[in-house]
Structure 1
Amino acid sequence: MIRLLSLALLAWLSAAAITARAADREAAAAALFDRVSSDPARLRVFLKAMPKGADLHNHVDGSPYAEAYLDWAGRKGLCIDRAALSITDPPCTAPDRVPAAGLILADPVLEQRMIDALSVRGWTEGVGRDTASGHDRMFGAFARFLAVARLVPGSSVAEVRRVAALDHVSYLELMYNPLGINRFALTTRDAAWNDTDLEGAFARLQPLLPELLASARRETDATDAAARAALGCATGSAEAGCAVQYRYIGYGLRLLPPPQLFRQLAVLFALADADPRYVGVNLVQPEDDPVAITQYRLAMRMVAFLATRYPKVHRSWHAGELALGLVPPEALADHIAQAVGEGRAERIGHGTDIAYETDATATLARMARDHVDVEINLASNDVILGVRGAEHPLRLYLAAGVPVTLSTDDEGVLRTDMTDQYVRAARVHALSYRDLKRLARASLEYAFLPGDSLWVGRQPGDPVPTCRDLTSASCTRLASGSPKASLQRDLELRLVAFETEIVRQRF
């Protein structure tokens, strides 16, 4: 008995020593952060090096920078429409069309105009602000590069992973659809559709699912293979992006007519249920569009119905990506409440209008109680909605105890990256190093990854007993059997290395 007590005491003392060393490391890093936080350049250096966990809100098509799309367009033999400032299919001999290949040498002025048109770069510098809002410039860019984006999903995935590695992001959840599912949704009709009979619509779809899912899997195989090839993952010169893990989240186009939206969502739920590469479903397209507002409640009924058929499929809805003035006050009343209520959201994207909801405090309390994460996109909310600084509800969510994560949204179109989100959170919202560390940990806790967590009760920072010592055999066993715990443990080890090294550097 005495021997057992002695061993227990030694284990406790060892754990206490580990905790004390961790606290000392964190305190030193936090002190350095405080010293550099008023200097934008030094703060950027600090936060660039900081391990950030996951980016949970990332649209594959919107993430490559315009320069990448122009390069790929040239390689694919596509054209530039001078008048529309868009990438188009050949032939390039039509009036106002020129080959995309060699554009930077043939017409560098047009190349720069194209970069502005495929992103918000010029708009953020004041070009065209009198003719288009940030909202319209952002959403309008997608149609301009669609011709090439649909041809290079693997290259896009590779580019997102490449940038994530530079930002010390270790995991991505990418909003991506196999093109076959989109074509099916856009071109098929359900003549017997009735808004009140989702069961009937679901039953009519069942005979079509096997081939649709098989096709989607083949297309995803090709996308993954192309991404690996672009990064050289099977070669001796593999890029750092190969180490960035990722999963897909399928998305429904909320502006589709209801029969088509339901069919698209149903196929995506079925795909996520059958293929572990897909971990959830989302709803995209401008939430302020009159169509989206009109059928928002119906869309929530659709996803609630499908959630009962596919209970293992995770759900994250764009909700509350609205601002006063962009829509009338009544449109701000309850989108977030509907998403976390009938829509059964496990996460919501943006959540910018929470303060304008009719029962905001009850919704915040529910999100905190049910651990519904809000994916905050600071650069996106600034450009698209004009919601920035003290107007942004980031601190409201934190004060209410709602789980918060930072994400990039459409980093290429927005000309941003994950480090920029952390810099904005620090400089504009006065978040501390410990705050940012909690957000990084939360990003993996609320990722739709399978397996047990490293943390007790969804409280990042409070490790389960088996992982009080990250290097112990028990923690290694947990990590080896859980994709979630594996990435969480890796983040903790990266944070240890970061906090140890950053204080030794001179900058």
Structure 2
Amino acid sequence: MTMGGRKLHMLAIGLGLAAGLAGGQALAAPAATPEARTAARFDSLVHDRAQLRLFLRAMPKGGDLHNHLWGAPYAEDFLAMAADDGLCVTVPRPALAEGPCDMAGKVPAKGLAQRDPDLYARTIDALSMRNFTPGGDGAAASGHDQFFSTFDRFAAAAARNNIGPMLAATREMAAGDHVLYVESSANPEALHAFGLVGQDLGWTDDFAAALAVLQPRIPAMVAQARAEMDAAEAQADRRQGCAKPAKAGPCQVAVRYQAFVQRAQPPGFVFAQMALAFALVEADPRFVGVNIVNPEDNPTALADYSLHMRMFQFLAARHPTVKLALHAGELAPGLTPPRDLSFHIREAVEIAGARRIGHGVDIASEAGASALLARMARDHVAVEINLTSNDVILGVKGSDHPLALYRQAGVPVVLSTDDEGVSRIDMTGEYLRAATEQGLRYGDLKAMARDSLEYSFLPGASLRGSVCAGREAPSPACASFLAGSPKAQVQWRLEQDFAAFERGVGGER
């Protein structure tokens, strides 16, 4: 080998050694975090829906902030309640009804699945969105109408002191979905009864005068409502064996309630119900907020929308600690005239003072939408996103859905189920839709799960920025902080669940 060749050879050896060292340094660099490996695993599954559902089923999901106690149980649950209560199923168009069941047009709900499987199946379809075909077999003419008509069809069971069984069904669903917290719209019978009291008193548009007449009756109705919830929770606990030490599963799901107002009722009814709802939230820590329900496009709801927002404003001034999560913007072009799409979300935020908006689907039709979005982002007014519900009821999905618009504007968003039993869904399915239809990735979903607790109405300081933030085990100061904050306690559980989930998915030993 010539001198020049020897030099070239040594140079090649040196370059190879340097490359080997560089490669060794790369291999010795810190391994990807469990979160990064989990995100990579998610990305590898995003086009395999079955595998992705399996992944998402196990993923911790924080809270479900838009949940209706009447709409969460499946039709099978209501049929079981009907059987226990001796109720009937009407024929030929199925619905649940009071007895006696030995007359024409009514058969016993008890034993129906074994006695007449075909009628049992058709009843499930009638009480939910399963197999919905517009106008078929007594079904409504649209998804919107079918969805809302189901509540009347199973009302005989839901209204029959069955809050306990409905709560048990809700907790069971949440536990199976790895949901730690549910904030459910739930009214004891006392709230409906008090609405009727207000309706009978008449209405003059004088908020102060109406409240003065109702005020002496409110304490007794608050006590009645609290007693109803005591009995319902005890019943749910018995059904699920929650008295057993360290009982896991449904018994570990934290549930709080939003007292709600029925907007399709006359003004006197709405105001009385609203006044009692505010008082109940102040008196009972299980109730953490007030909401408003019924179809937003109902003629009475549309005509009185601004009146209702002013009612909220009036009562909120007298109960400043009570939080509002209001259904607003559950509308779409063509469902109502354009004028009704132009102000509902804005008035819920600016007049009523809503801290969260349920649905918010018509945001792009709001007058001054850009300014409203900026305000919601600045004031941290979160939006509860219900992808399946918006598809089923309004026909809004995919790129037509405003989820991306909210996220681009910096508005906090959380995924929720709305009425999972009526829609025949679960929270896992909502996460799956967010991934496959909205393009969200693991980091996005994890952030939304965290936000579902951050923007919950659970009392107490947030884990974010606290002495516990970033810790794997609580210090004495952290333990003291957690003991004083129900919100931080659930957030801490979520962080522990995420750590365990990511270690498992990432294969960390």
Same fold (TM over 0.5): yes
Give the AA of the match of 2:409: A
1:339 Cα deviation after fit: 0.5
Distance in 2 (CA, whole Å) between partners of 1:207 and 1:130 is 45
Distance in 2 (CA, whole Å) between partners of 1:465 and 1:237 is 27
Within a 5 Å distance, the mapping from 1:277-356 to structure 2 comes to: 277-356=286-365
* Closer, same or farther: CA 339–209 of 1 in aligned 2, 3 Å: same
1:289 Cα deviation after fit: 1.2
* Closer, same or farther: CA 468–74 of 1 in aligned 2, 3 Å: same
Aligned counterpart in structure 1 of residue 485 of structure 2, from 467, 482, 486: 482
Are 2:260 and 2:292, in contact at CA under 8 Å, matched by a contact in 1?
A: yes
Within a 5 Å distance, the mapping from 1:372-387 to structure 2 comes to: 372-387=381-396
1:130 Cα deviation after fit: 8.8
Distance in 2 (CA, whole Å) between partners of 1:102 and 1:238 is 31
Aligned counterpart in structure 2 of residue 492 of structure 1, from 471, 490, 495: 495
Distance in 2 (CA, whole Å) between partners of 1:22 and 1:47 is 24
* Closer, same or farther: CA 188–315 of 1 in aligned 2, 3 Å: closer
Are 1:231 and 1:239, in contact at CA under 8 Å, matched by a contact in 2?
A: no
* Closer, same or farther: CA 470–190 of 1 in aligned 2, 3 Å: farther
* Closer, same or farther: CA 131–91 of 1 in aligned 2, 3 Å: closer
- SS at 1:169 equivalent: coil
Aligned counterpart in structure 1 of residue 469 of structure 2, from 450, 467, 470: 467
C-alpha offsets along residues 113-144 of structure 1, whole Å, 9 cap, x if unaligned? 00000000011799569952110110000000
1:83 Cα deviation after fit: 2.8
C-alpha offsets along residues 265-301 of structure 1, whole Å, 9 cap, x if unaligned? 0001000011101000000000011211110000000
Partner residue in 2 for 1:435: 444
Are 1:252 and 1:264, in contact at CA under 8 Å, matched by a contact in 2?
A: yes
Count of aligned pairs? 478
Partner residue in 1 for 2:177: 167
- SS at 2:352 equivalent: coil
Distance in 1 (CA, whole Å) between partners of 2:159 and 2:248 is 24
Are 2:261 and 2:292, in contact at CA under 8 Å, matched by a contact in 1?
A: yes
Give the AA of the match of 2:488: A
Question: Normalized against structure 2, the TM-score is what?
Answer: 0.91
RMSD of equivalent CA atoms: 1.9
Partner residue in 1 for 2:166: 156
Are 1:449 and 1:483, in contact at CA under 8 Å, matched by a contact in 2?
A: yes
Give the AA of the match of 1:194: T
C-alpha offsets along residues 23-51 of structure 1, whole Å, 9 cap, x if unaligned? 71111000000000110001001110000
Partner residue in 2 for 1:141: 150
Are 1:162 and 1:239, in contact at CA under 8 Å, matched by a contact in 2?
A: no
Task: Name which one, 1 or 2, has greater alpha-carbon Rg.
Answer: 2
* Closer, same or farther: CA 239–469 of 1 in aligned 2, 3 Å: closer
Question: Normalized against structure 1, the TM-score is what?
Answer: 0.91
Distance in 2 (CA, whole Å) between partners of 1:305 and 1:255 is 20
C-alpha offsets along residues 227-246 of structure 1, whole Å, 9 cap, x if unaligned? 11111101369451000011
Note if 1:189 corresponds to 2:199.
yes
Note if 1:272 corresponds to 2:281.
yes
Partner residue in 2 for 1:460: none
Distance in 1 (CA, whole Å) between partners of 2:335 and 2:78 is 30
Give the AA of the match of 2:176: L
Partner residue in 1 for 2:187: 177
Distance in 1 (CA, whole Å) between partners of 2:227 and 2:61 is 32
Within a 5 Å distance, the mapping from 1:404-423 to structure 2 comes to: 404-423=413-432
Gaps of 5+ in 1: 1-19, 457-463
Gaps of 5+ in 2: 1-28
User: In terms of mean alpha carbon deviation, does 91-100 or 122-131 score higher?
Assistant: 122-131
- SS at 1:443 equivalent: helix
List, as ranges, runs of 4+ consecutive aligned residues in structure 1 with deviation greater than 2 Å: 20-23, 124-131, 186-193, 235-239, 464-468, 474-477
Are 1:118 and 1:145, in contact at CA under 8 Å, matched by a contact in 2?
A: yes
